[in-house]
Structure 1
Amino acid sequence: MALTTNAISTALVTAAGDSANKGYIAISITLPMFKRDTLLAIEKQFQKDWERHIFEVDMPEDDSVDLEKLHEKYPKWVGTFPYPYMNGILHLGHGFSASKLEFAAGWE
């Protein structure tokens, strides 16, 4: 019995003359594996993107740009928000924490 990419085959086969396993018969179960095939297709797409180096950005040389001018041109600001845990329901405190971050981001 051969395995295919679209199905998994499981077989329990017992020799007819085997006294320890007498009474067992050959069973074959075939199940489609759409989720696995979908994940494999997605993985192949990301591997192609990885090989094309689309994630790499050309960085400026150390001598080409003054760091102070670069910071003035592209100022950085980072805000973090502690995401709500899944062990309880959302409440007003979550909105309050998010609003503080939104206000600070708008102020900058």
Structure 2
Amino acid sequence: MSPSAIPPDDILLQVTPALPLPEVWDAIVRPEQLTRWLAPRVRLELREGGPFELFWDPEDPSQNSTQGCTLLRFRDQDEIAFTWKGPPAFDALMNRGTRLTEVQIRVAPCPEGIDVTLEH
């Protein structure tokens, strides 16, 4: 989807790290790597329907986590998509009823390194 086709309330982030694809991919999908840069506790199973949970406050996971989120799609070293919910303070922006938002991350080699695109 081109940036101009993205609805105004969606988020599109793109970065191009000059790293090998396996290293970039592992930083996105391996719990031991995610805990190094994103959240102190991670529960992730790389299978459709498996948990994709990030805990920024492991002592009180109900307040600052993606508890209950699941993996929607997974293609090794290509794409991962999962449900997302924000903390209770952001209920007006997301977490509407039982419908969670969706995050999709795609990776692809490019001349500068690896193109990483996150769409939410």
TM-score normalised by the shorter chain: which range applies? under 0.3
The structure number with the bigger radius of gyration is 1
Structure with bigger helix share is 1
Structure with bigger strand share is 2
Normalising to structure 2: TM-score of the pair? 0.18
